[in-house]
Structure 1
Amino acid sequence: MSSASARRPTLQDIADRTGFGRATVSMALRNHPDIRQATRDLIRQTAEAMGYRPNPMIAALMTQLRERRPGREEGRIALISRFAQSVARHRFPDTFYRPLFDAITESAAAHGYGIDEFFTGENPVSDARLSGILRARGIQGVLFFPGSDQKVPDHEYPALDWRCFATVLIGFRTTHEGLHQVASDYTWDIDHALAHVRGAGFRRIGLAVPANVDASANHAWASRFLFYQHGVRPRDRVAPLLSGHRDMDREELAAWFRKQRPEVILSAGTTVRDLLRESGVRVPQDVRIVNLVQRGEPGMAGIDPHTAEVGHAAVDLLVSLLQGNHLGQPAFPRMIAIRGHWTPGESFPEH
């Protein structure tokens, strides 16, 4: 075999074979929307037939160069939410959505992408129409943003023409199958919290969250808590409170607390602590509270789920799919779970 035939094909070789310039070939292999779809297909097919493989060292260098030029965009990413207005302008009552959105926009910019928001909460366009809009704008990367401000709890994301897009779902709440997902590792987080609390010597541990909040965590908290309860002594078991109210009800919580008498309560946010105090229960003197989603709430101990890292990981995954031209529903969807860590606070004194 001659040295010419043994060497790896280069961008120039593909350019010579197809008649396009090196810049066009490079952009087509990176699936750049500025290159016509037919041209991209032809160049990719030619590159595959020639046995072209990108040089990983050069690819890493080019990524660094693009990150050093944050003002230059490689393309646009669609951020699709189930809210009635732009996530960027939404005033959220909790500490989840804002850091997640900021992390997404920050990571996208670092990779050279801008964000186009599509909010489908009210008067959404048809799925086919939205797919057409995305294609007309040259958008192939789609992120599904979690949450909803709609009264219908199972308000679904649009069913796009999946063949045309690389898609990543943030969170769990969807009926669409075959999507890559990125989320907090809620299973790890509650296991970590239980281990920390038991390590501090407490045995009667309770769980109090609205059922809809547990559902947004893929039922990880309730399922792991019940599994944990199965392995403890009967006298140490505390029946969980999975409230049917959208927000925790004070009377329901107070009645549960009087009956179960837990030493420690695992919860989500500050509501359980605040409602118990309104009912005359002293925190942490009478009961200690652990926040399973502790994102800087004053006075709370618990698990920091690193929400911003979820946003960063989602963008990183999507960009890798775009760079590899992995469009359509994958045969083997990936699930990336970001683990949290314990953070101390007044609601659970460490002594």
Structure 2
Amino acid sequence: MKPPAPVTMSDLARHLGLSTATVSRALRHHPALPSATCEAVRRAAEELGYRPNPMIGALMSQLRQRRPRALVNLACLYAEESAGNLVQAERDMVAGFQAEAARLGYHADAEPWPPPAGDEDGLVRRWQARNVRGIFLLNVRADRNLNLPWEKFSWVVAGNMAGTPALHRVGNEIHQIVKLALEETLRLGCHRPALAVPLTGERRQGLRWAGAFYGNWLDLLPNAGEPPIFRGPWHEDTFRQWLHAVRPDAVLALTDDVLAWLEHAAPANALKPRFIHLAANSSRFPVPGVCQDFPAVGAAAAQMLDGQLRRNERGIPAEPTTLTVAGRWQPGPGLASGTPSNSASSAA
């Protein structure tokens, strides 16, 4: 007795009264089709026992990769209200994203979040009208879960963002950056480095900077006691109180305001802790620290979206991946232990 013939896509199309092309698109969650159609096709495929032929799927994927993509667009959604020197970092990521997208054959727009008048539906309609298929979410702040049609697009997120499902992510290698900064700080002769990062941003990042500092501290300074981390409100007076209580000989930080606070923390000619920047290429001053390659992070986002589009992957991935970019050490004058300094500008 012959085994039953496998259910084909043509069988599925006849059962549903749809064209084979529509069924094929629905099984790939094509953004041009209504979600209800895609769901109906998926349910029918399960009921009839339809299984895609992997050899045909691989062949079609190769054919789709050879098609010109001049009409396919990408978009970068960034936080309009970004503050401080993080603005330049985000600009660098956008520039890297757009340059790599152009190299790969796409056009990439950058749009602020939230959209004008809070019109999220209008934003999605504009994406669809421009044939945008992939979205790069760049540090979008959200006080609630983002209500975006995840199933219609390919997505990549920068860092850890509240309000989003588990998506593919790109970012800087925080553990490596902190380890490199600590190793170089110890090489400079410091023995008690500390960490100071804004708590609000840390929570959005899942306390990854503090976690990386804590873990690397235990590896590099196993007998030095509890690692000193500034956890108070992000204000100069609070920082000064913490500094006098902890008395570190170096402070690792992400922002230039810590440099100014260190300048004001002690009288002239007093010994001051070294200032080590964890994003030295974002600083207004030639300070020592680790340079984060923000353009490379943006370029990696474009590459990840390109890979998803080539594989016709949309929506929330079953197994999200994370791609990180390492930092490099940048020497610089900054504030040195045992060296008096009179102003933040003198560090330049």
Scaled by the length of structure 2, the TM-score of the pair is: 0.71
Partner Cα distance (1:266, 1:241) in 2: 10
Structure 1 vs Structure 2 CA RMSD = 3.9
User: 1:1-351 maps to which residues of 2 (within 5 A)?
Assistant: 51=56, 53-54=58-59, 73-83=70-80, 94-121=87-114, 123-126=117-120, 130-148=123-141, 154-156=142-144, 158-230=146-218, 232=221, 237=226, 239-245=228-234, 249-280=235-266, 286-295=272-281, 297=283, 298-347=285-334
- 2:244 is paired with a residue of what secondary structure? helix
Contact residue 179 and residue 333 of structure 1 kept, 8 A: yes
Q: Is the 8 A contact 2:154 2:314 kept in 1?
A: yes
Give the Cα–Cα distance (whole angstroms) in 2 for the partners of residues 182 and 281 of structure 1: 43
Instruction: Please report how far the alpha carbon of residue 91 of structure 1 lies from its aligned counterpart in structure 2 after TM superposition.
Output: 10
Give the Å deviation of 1:277.
Answer: 1.0
C-alpha displacement at 1:52, in angstroms? 5.8
Task: Tell me the alpha carbon deviations over residues 94-145 of structure 1, each in whole angstroms, 9 at most, x when there is no partner.
Answer: 431211111111111112212234433263224x554444334322211112
TM-score (normalizing by structure 1): 0.71
Q: Is the 8 A contact 1:204 1:237 kept in 2?
A: no
Cα 1:133–1:263 change in 2 (3 A) is same
Using the TM superposition, give the Cα deviation of residue 164 of structure 1 relative to its aligned residue in structure 2, in angstroms. 1.5
Q: CA 1:213–1:178 in structure 2 vs 1: closer, same or farther (change >3 Å)?
A: closer
Distance 2:95 2:162 in 1: 23
In structure 2, list runs of 5 or more residues that go unmatched.
1-18, 39-49, 339-348
Give, in whole Å, the separation in 1 of the partners of 2:271 and 2:61: 57
Query: How many equivalent residue pairs?
Result: 297
Q: Quote the offset at 1:241 in angstroms.
A: 0.8
- How far off is 1:239 after superposition? 2.7
Using the alignment, how far apart are the partners of 1:19 and 1:331 within structure 2? 26
Identify the range of structure 1 (323-332 vs 273-282) with the bigger mean alpha-carbon deviation.
273-282
Q: Distance in 2 between matches of 1:169 and 1:178?
A: 9
Question: Could you tell me how far apart the structure 1 residues matched to 2:210 and 2:246 are?
Answer: 17
CA contact (8 A) 1:284 1:349 kept: no
Structure 1 unaligned residues grouped into runs of 5+: 1-17, 21-27, 67-71, 149-153
Tell me the residue number matched to 1:7: none
- In structure 2, distance between residues paired with 1:59 and 1:177: 28
2:10 alignment partner in structure 1? none
What letter matches 1:242 in structure 2?
A: R
Which whole-Å deviations, capped at 9, do the CAs of 1:144-164 have from their partners, x for residues lacking one?
12144xxxxx43563322221
CA–CA distance in structure 1, aligned partners of residues 109 and 212 of structure 2: 37
* CA deviation profile, 1:168-213 (whole Å, cap 9, x unmatched): 1112122322211111111221122112222344221111222123
Q: Residue 15 of structure 1 aligns with which residue?
A: none
In percent, how many aligned pairs have the same letter? 19
The answer for the alignment partner of 2:41 in structure 1 is none
